[in-house]
Structure 1
Amino acid sequence: MGRGKPWTREDVIIAYALYCVIPFSKVNNSNQTIKNAAAVMERSPASLKMRICNLAALDPDFLATGRAGLTSVASLDREVYAEFSSDWQRLSATAEELLGLPIFDVAEPVYNGPDRRRKKTYAEISDKQARRFFRKSVIAAYEGRCCISGMTIPQMLIASHIKPYAVSDLQTERANPANGLLLNAFYDRAFDQGLMTVLPDLTILISDQVKEVYTDERTKEWLYSIEGTKIKRPARFAPNRDLLAYHNEYVFLR
């Protein structure tokens, strides 16, 4: 199935979206998401897996980790990568529409008539879908581990926006996995409230406003002890330096 079948632009869009949301360690022929997508695309899981791996060769953040994608990169791959790597919300919406599967763990609400809850607008559906895509892609980038503590309990992990969601650009920032850090709930709250920040070189900084007031042993152990250390760099979608600078300037308490 799928042998010799030409790859279309639509196929590559699906492959790129899957590259974003599947941890690289789980990109294999037996991955259920890949198998389900391949069946819809009328391709073999091996063929789809190979295309996903090809896209790694276009990702500078992935290559910066010292790992290498496959060297055979088609011009169509480059075109799709260039088109969607700055329009994440459209990538997630387009891929899921083409595939017809809830690959980002969100399905379009069903409208059951006037006596039911009102029908959600397209914008609301798209926003929810983009949020799910963002979370799943950030989890994949960090291989499901908090970038500070290494915690792996899914219920305790949050895909935290570096530049706050409310002020992020709809097209280039809100669903951009490079605008995310995977943090456990404690560090997510501290980061969100400006009690800590991450410098462009990935070094953690704790607010003096906190250190001057709170001197209990638990705060020292859980918060102050990480100052000066670096977060774990993800396998792909490294935190954007400009977005980290925004957090340093406008969110961090000085």
Structure 2
Amino acid sequence: MARNWTRDELILAMSLYCRLPFGKFDKGNPDVIQLADAIDRTHSSVAMKLSNLASLDPFHQERGIKALPNASKADRQIWQEFHSDWEGLADECLRLEIEYHLQPVEDAIEEQSLFEGETESTRVTKVRRAQRFFRSTVLASYEYRCCITKIDLKELLIASHIIPWSEDSAKRADPHNGLCLNALHDKAFDRGLITLDEEYRLIYSRLLSESLSVNAMNQFFKPYEGKAIQFPLRFRPDQNCLRRHREHIFLT
């Protein structure tokens, strides 16, 4: 008889859903196999659970992918828990990944102190964990390609916060507050030299065109002006976050 998924198992499944590139949920994926073995479930059942979670994503529902009949109330609840507290659930994911030996030993030892009481070092560890979760989720959602230039060299890619880390703690680990950008466009976005409009199209600041040479503008910015970004395959960037970027960070 099939047993119900526990909350811990659903958190681990949601964490894997966030970190895997979309379309890599099949039962033969090594990460799917690793999680299935860790929680004593079949590879197929974990693959199906990831598909159930994907069907709850509003972005996919807009594309005509409806919630699967076997997406449970517990699936919906864990989806909402993550969206209500990304940073808190990122910490809980870490605890469970250590407990189920889903992290490399050296990472588990380094971060075990996170659960041994609140100190300055544990607060630093929480920050690092949220940053790691955010980066892996955003980059996987954009299939490891810059959403402006489509550069796909991982070493040049950054998970950029739309609302800066320091300005809104609730948005720190929220992938809807993220864009995958190459290092140059990340810096330009962070400094308010470029932004996205209501249709996700690139616009750049007058200060940028006044400061750079014609050749630099033509090479790095002009080709993308007015063009929509490449959308992620989950966690579409939040327009409220983008509006705040345009109104409070972008330099007109």
Determine if the TM-score, normalized by the shorter chain, exceeds 0.5: yes
- Which residue in 2 is equivalent to 1:87? 85
Identical aligned residues as a percent = 35
Measure, in 2, the Cα distance between the counterparts of 1:213 and 1:39: 56
1:189 aligned onto 2:194: no
- Which residue in 2 is equivalent to 1:163? 163
Measure, in 2, the Cα distance between the counterparts of 1:174 and 1:16: 18
- Which residue in 2 is equivalent to 1:123? 123
**Once the two structures are superposed, what CA deviation does each residue of 1:69-114 show, in whole Å capped at 9, x if it has no partner?**
63321011111111221211121221221232238x95452799xx
**Once the two structures are superposed, what CA deviation does each residue of 1:40-94 show, in whole Å capped at 9, x if it has no partner?**
1111121111111101121102333455563321011111111221211121221
Contact 2:138 2:159 in 1 (8 A): yes
1:224 Cα deviation from its structure 2 partner: 2.2
- Output the amino acid matched with 2:147: C
Contact 1:138 1:159 in 2 (8 A): yes
- Output the amino acid matched with 1:244: L
Contact 1:37 1:99 in 2 (8 A): no
- Output the amino acid matched with 2:166: A
Measure, in 2, the Cα distance between the counterparts of 1:78 and 1:7: 13
Moved more, 119-128 or 220-229: 119-128
- Which residue in 1 is equivalent to 2:116? none
Partner of residue 239 from structure 1, selected from 234, 237, 240: 237
- SS for the counterpart of 1:234 is coil
Moved more, 239-248 or 222-231: 222-231
Structure number with the higher helix fraction is 2
**Count of residue correspondences:** 243
> RMSD of the alignment, in Å?
2.2
Q: Which runs of 5+ in 2 are unaligned?
A: 114-118
Contact 2:111 2:125 in 1 (8 A): no
- SS for the counterpart of 1:23 is coil
Partner of residue 214 from structure 1, selected from 195, 212, 215: 212
Contact 2:27 2:47 in 1 (8 A): yes
- SS for the counterpart of 2:158 is strand
Contact 1:165 1:174 in 2 (8 A): yes
Contact 1:57 1:71 in 2 (8 A): no
Contact 1:106 1:129 in 2 (8 A): no
Moved more, 91-100 or 183-192: 91-100
**Once the two structures are superposed, what CA deviation does each residue of 1:163-186 show, in whole Å capped at 9, x if it has no partner?**
1111122xx300000110001111
